[in-house]
Structure 1
Amino acid sequence: MPSTTVKAPQESDASLSHGLKQRHLSMIALGGVIGAGLFVGSGAGIAAAGPSIVLAYTLSGLLVMLVMRMLGEMSAAYPSSGSFSAHAERAIGPWAGFTAGWSFWVLLCTAVGLEGIGAAKIVTGWLPGTPEWAWVGLFMLVFCVTNLAAVKNFGEFEFWFAALKVAAIGLFLVLGVLAIAGVLPGTGSPGTSNLTGRGGFFPGGGEGLVVGLLASVFAYGGLETVTIAAAESEDPVRGVASAVRTAMWRIALFYVGSMAVIVTLVPWDSKAVVEKGPYVAALDELGIPGAGQLMNAVVLVALLSAMNANIYGSSRIAYSLVRRGLGPKGLGRVSAGVPRIAVLVSCVFGFGCVVLSYWRPDDVFSWLLNMIGAVVLVVWIIVAVSHLRLRRSRTVPFLTWVAVAGMAAVLVLMAREPGTRVQLYATGGMTAVLAVAGYARQKALPVATV
C-alpha cells in the first residue's frame, strides 16, 4: 500500500541574483558577531554579573558556536534563503518551517525599528532639538532603497560597516591590553582590583551570573544572517562553510575578550557602564580625548549595520516562505533578482513598530517586545532538532545533544527569573499560535504519493 504524505512546494532560489562575493559573506558573518547587542546590551549584563560576565559570555558563546556549527553544516548541504526555516521544513515538516520562519520574520522586523530608535537617540544627542522619528524615517528610507536595489549593494554596505566595526573592536582590545599591562602612556595598570574587589568575581552570586548569562545569550542574535545570505553568493557551499568557521573563533576574540578588558579596566558597579555603555566607559577610564564620542559613532554604525542586515534577512525569509507555499504569494514577487515587495512590507512593519513605541509604549509596544524576547532561543531549538533528524541515519551527533541540553538549561533559567519569565511565556504563546496556523497550512498543501 502506498503511503501519502504532505508535500510542500520546494523552494528554488534561481530567481534571486547571486551577487554576493566571498569577501561579502565573510564580513557579513563578522558584522553579525559584532552587533548592537555587544555594544549596547552588554552593559546590563555587566551590572548584574560583575566580572563573572566573562564566564557568562564564555558559556553562551560555546552554545552559539554549537548552533552555528549545526546551521553551517545544514546550509552547506542545502543552501537556501530560508536557512533554518527551510531546514526545519525538510527535517520536521512544513508546519515547523512556517513557525520558525514567521516568528523570526517578526523578530527581525521589530529589531529594525528598535535599532532605528537607538541610532536616532545617538544622532539627537549630537543634534539636540531634532525629532527622533524623522531620523528613524531617514535611516529606514536609505536602507529600504539599498535593499530594493541589487543584492551586491547590501553586500557592499555590510562589508564596509563590518570593516569599521572590526577595526574599532581591534583597536579597543589593543588599547585595553596595553592599559592593563601598564604600558599605555598616561595610564596606570588597574591590576586585578576590579576583578577581586567590590564583591569579588561573583558579586551578584549565582543569581547575578544567571542574569548575565541570559543577557549574553540574546546578545549573539544576528549570526543567522550569513546562512540566509549564502543562497545569493557565487559559491554557496564553500562560502557559508568558510564564513561560519571565521565567525565561530571571532566570538571568543570579540565578545569574551572585550568583556574581559572592560571589567578589568572599569569597576563593574560604575553607573557609566549602563548610562554611557561599557565601551565608552572603558575608553573614558583611559582618558583618551574624544574616544568616548568616537565609540558612540561606532555604536551608531553598528545599529545602522544591524538595520540593513535585518531588512535584508526579513525580506529573504519572507520570500523563501512564500516560494515554499507558506505565505501570501504577493511577497514572493522578484524584480531584477530582488524580492522587492517583501523588502517593502518588512520596512513598513519595522516603521510601524517605531510608531507604536511613541504611540503605545506601555502596552502594545511592551507586549510586542515581550513576544519576541525568546524567539532566538526557539529558532536555535528548531535548528538542533532539524540537525538531529537530518543526521539520524549517520553517527549520533553528540555535540548537538550537548547544545540541546544547554538550551533546555536556558529555558529553565528564563522561567526562574521574573524579568525573563514574561518574555518566555509571551514568545511561547506566539510560537504556539504560529505552530497551529502552520499545521493548518500544512493540511492545505498538496498531498503527494510516496
Structure 2
Amino acid sequence: MGMSEPGSMQRGLKNRHIQMIALGGAIGTGLFYGSAETIKLAGPAITLSYVAGGVVIFLIMRMLGEMSVDEPVSGSFSYYAYKYWGEFPGFLSGWNYWFNYIIVSMAELTAVGIYVNYWFPAVPHWVSALVFLVLITMANLANVKMYGEFEFWFAIIKVAAILGMIVLGILLIFTGINGRATGFHNLWIHGGFFPNGTWGFFQSLVVVMFSFGGIELIGITAGEAENPQKTIPRAINQVMWRILIFYVGALSIMMIIYPWNKVGLDGSPFVQIFSKIGIPAAAAILNVVVLTAALSVYNSGIYSNGRMLYSLAVQGNAPRFIARLNRKGVPLIGILISSALTLVAVLLNYLIPGKVFMYLLSVAVIAAVINWASIIITNLKFRQAKGKEAEKLVFKTPGHPWTNYLALVFLVMIIALMFTIDSMKQAVYVLPFWILVLWLGFKAKKAAESKARAGSRAA
C-alpha cells in the first residue's frame, strides 16, 4: 500500500489562487445565510462569538499548516493521520472529511435555491441546485488551473462586496437613513448586548463553527501549490484578520444600522436589511454576492472531495480505480462520484423544501468537529515523531502543546452545546453510528487485503 505522493498531480495553483482559496473557505453561506440563526441566538454578542471561534480555528489551521509546510502532499491531514497516528485514524479522517464536504456542498446548493428565489420566486429550489451542480462540475473537470481561476474570481467578488457593504454601512451610520442618523444604540436597546444571556452566546458558537467549516481546504491545496513553503504560511496567517474584518466587521455594522431582532430566516440577512432600509439596488447586488459565495464554496467542495477520494485511493483506503487521473492531472472519477452524491441535496430540496439547510448544517458541524479534532491530535503525534527535529520546523504552532489541548476542550464543548439546540440534537446521536460505519468499513478493507495476500501466497 503506497503512501508516496504520486507525481502526476500538477502544481498549477499560484500564490493568488491559494490566497483566494483560503478566503473562499472562510466566507460562505455560514456568514451570508447562517448568520441569521446566530443573530437570533446571541443578538449583538454574535460579534464576540466569531472572535472566540476564530481564535480556535486559527490555532487549528496553524497545526495543519505546520504539517503541510513540512510535507506538502495532496490529501492533507488524512495523509498525516495515516502516517503519524495510525491506519484507522487515517482512514477515518479521510472519509470523514470527504463526507463533511459532501454535506457542506449540499448545504451550499440548498442556499443557491434560496438566493435564486429572490429574483425568480416561481423557480423551485431543486431546479436552481441542479443547474449549478452541472456547471461547477464541468469547470472542475477541465484542470486545476480552471478551478483556481473560478475560485479566484468568486472570492474577489465576495471580498469586494463585503468591503463595499462595510463602507456603505459606515456611511449610513454617520449620515443616517432617510435623513435620520442610526447611531450605535441598536447594539443594546433591544434587550442589551447579550439579549439571551451568556447561554444564547454559547449556543451561537455551534452555528459560528459551521461558518468556518471548510477552512482546512488550505491544507488540501498543498499538493498542487507551486510554492507551498511560502504560500501556505501566508494564507494561514491571514485567516485571523480576515475573520475579524469580514465576520466581525460586517455583522457589527449590520446590527448597528438595523435592529437585530427583526432579522428573519427567509433569505440572506444582508439582502433583507438593505432592501428594508430602502436601498433595493444594494440588496440586488448583495444577492449576486451571496449567490457567488455559495457557488464558491460548492466549487471548493467538488475540488477538495475529488482530491480526498484520490488520496484515499492512493493510500489503499478506497477502490484503486478512483486514483486514476486524466491527462490534465485531474482526479476525474473522484470528482464525478462526489458530484453525483451532492445530487442528494437536489432530491432533498424537492422532497422537503425549506427545512434542508438547518438539518445539513447540524451534520456538517459534527463532521467538521471530527476533522478538527483529528488535525489537533495528529499534530501532537507529528511533534512526538519529530522529536528534537521539531526545533527545525519552519512554521510552528504557537503555544504547542497547550493550544492543542485548549482547542480540543473547545470542540468537546461545541458537541455538548449541540444537545441543547433542537434542530441539532439528532446530529449528535448520529455521531457514534457514523464512527461505527467507518470502523466497519476499515475492518472490511483489512479483511479484503488479508484475503488478497492469502490468495497471492497460495498462487
TM-score under structure 2 length normalisation? 0.89
Matched, 1:198 2:202: no
1:96-121 Cα shifts (integer Å, max 9, x gaps): 11111112212222332332232133
Matched, 1:220 2:212: yes
More moved, 36-45 vs 184-193: 184-193
Take 2:179 and 2:352, find their aligned partners in 1: how far apart are those partners?
A: 47
Determine the structure 2 residue equivalent to 1:426.
Answer: 430
Aligned length: 438
- 1:250 CA drift (Å): 0.7
Contact preservation (8 Å) 1:112, 1:306: yes
More moved, 421-430 vs 209-218: 421-430
Determine the structure 1 residue equivalent to 2:395.
Answer: none
The 1:365–1:170 alpha-carbon spacing in structure 2 relative to 1, beyond 3 Å, is closer
Contact preservation (8 Å) 1:151, 1:338: yes
Determine the structure 2 residue equivalent to 1:397.
Answer: 401
Of the three residues 68, 72, 84, the one matched with 1:79 is: 72
SS where residue 111 of structure 2 aligns?
helix
1:357-407 Cα shifts (integer Å, max 9, x gaps): 424779999987754441001111111001111113358522222212222
Determine the structure 2 residue equivalent to 1:415.
Answer: 419
For structure 2, list consecutive stretches of 5 or more residues without a partner in the other structure.
392-399, 454-459
The 1:110–1:338 alpha-carbon spacing in structure 2 relative to 1, beyond 3 Å, is same
1:28-49 Cα shifts (integer Å, max 9, x gaps): 1111111111101001100111
- 1:184 CA drift (Å): 5.9
Take 1:290 and 1:137, find their aligned partners in 2: how far apart are those partners?
A: 28
- 1:325 CA drift (Å): 0.7
Determine the structure 1 residue equivalent to 2:333.
Answer: 341
Take 2:177 and 2:104, find their aligned partners in 1: how far apart are those partners?
A: 41
Matched, 1:380 2:372: yes
Take 2:443 and 2:99, find their aligned partners in 1: how far apart are those partners?
A: 19
Determine the structure 2 residue equivalent to 1:249.
Answer: 241
Contact preservation (8 Å) 2:106, 2:342: yes
Of the three residues 317, 323, 345, the one matched with 1:353 is: 345
1:207-241 Cα shifts (integer Å, max 9, x gaps): 21122111111111121112112211111222211
Determine the structure 1 residue equivalent to 2:254.
Answer: 262
Matched, 1:316 2:316: no
Take 2:433 and 2:424, find their aligned partners in 1: how far apart are those partners?
A: 14
Matched, 1:327 2:337: no
Take 1:375 and 1:163, find their aligned partners in 2: how far apart are those partners?
A: 28
Contact preservation (8 Å) 2:137, 2:335: yes
SS where residue 340 of structure 2 aligns?
helix
1:102-152 Cα shifts (integer Å, max 9, x gaps): 122122223323322321332244234444433322211111111111110
Calculate the aligned-residue CA RMSD, in Å: 2.5
Q: Give runs of ≥4 in structure 1 deviating > 6 Å.
A: 360-369
More moved, 317-326 vs 99-108: 99-108
Of the three residues 17, 30, 33, the one matched with 1:37 is: 30
Take 1:291 and 1:366, find their aligned partners in 2: how far apart are those partners?
A: 27
- 1:431 CA drift (Å): 2.2
- 1:248 CA drift (Å): 2.8
SS where residue 238 of structure 2 aligns?
helix
Matches within 5 A, 1:42-61: 42-61=35-54
Determine the structure 1 residue equivalent to 2:19.
Answer: 26
For structure 1, list consecutive stretches of 5 or more residues without a partner in the other structure.
1-7
Determine the structure 2 residue equivalent to 1:114.
Answer: 107
Matched, 1:177 2:170: yes
Determine the structure 2 residue equivalent to 1:5.
Answer: none
Contact preservation (8 Å) 2:125, 2:349: no
Contact preservation (8 Å) 2:206, 2:365: no
Determine the structure 2 residue equivalent to 1:143.
Answer: 136
The amino acid of 1:301's aligned partner reads: T
Take 2:347 and 2:56, find their aligned partners in 1: how far apart are those partners?
A: 35
The 1:435–1:367 alpha-carbon spacing in structure 2 relative to 1, beyond 3 Å, is farther
The amino acid of 1:139's aligned partner reads: F
Contact preservation (8 Å) 1:48, 1:211: yes
Take 1:365 and 1:189, find their aligned partners in 2: how far apart are those partners?
A: 36
Take 1:117 and 1:411, find their aligned partners in 2: how far apart are those partners?
A: 24
Of the three residues 283, 305, 309, the one matched with 2:296 is: 305
Determine the structure 1 residue equivalent to 2:85.
Answer: 92
Contact preservation (8 Å) 1:391, 1:397: no
Determine the structure 2 residue equivalent to 1:3.
Answer: none
The amino acid of 2:242's aligned partner reads: R
TM-score under structure 1 length normalisation? 0.90
- 1:320 CA drift (Å): 0.5
SS where residue 335 of structure 1 aligns?
coil
Contact preservation (8 Å) 2:125, 2:353: no
1:154-210 Cα shifts (integer Å, max 9, x gaps): 000000000000000111111222333x13685543323211211101111122112
Matched, 1:438 2:434: no
The 1:435–1:77 alpha-carbon spacing in structure 2 relative to 1, beyond 3 Å, is farther
SS where residue 79 of structure 1 aligns?
coil
Identity %: 36
Of the three residues 193, 203, 211, the one matched with 2:203 is: 211
Contact preservation (8 Å) 2:29, 2:111: no
The amino acid of 1:135's aligned partner reads: S
Take 1:366 and 1:11, find their aligned partners in 2: how far apart are those partners?
A: 40
Take 1:185 and 1:408, find their aligned partners in 2: how far apart are those partners?
A: 44
- 1:432 CA drift (Å): 3.0
Take 2:51 and 2:169, find their aligned partners in 1: how far apart are those partners?
A: 19
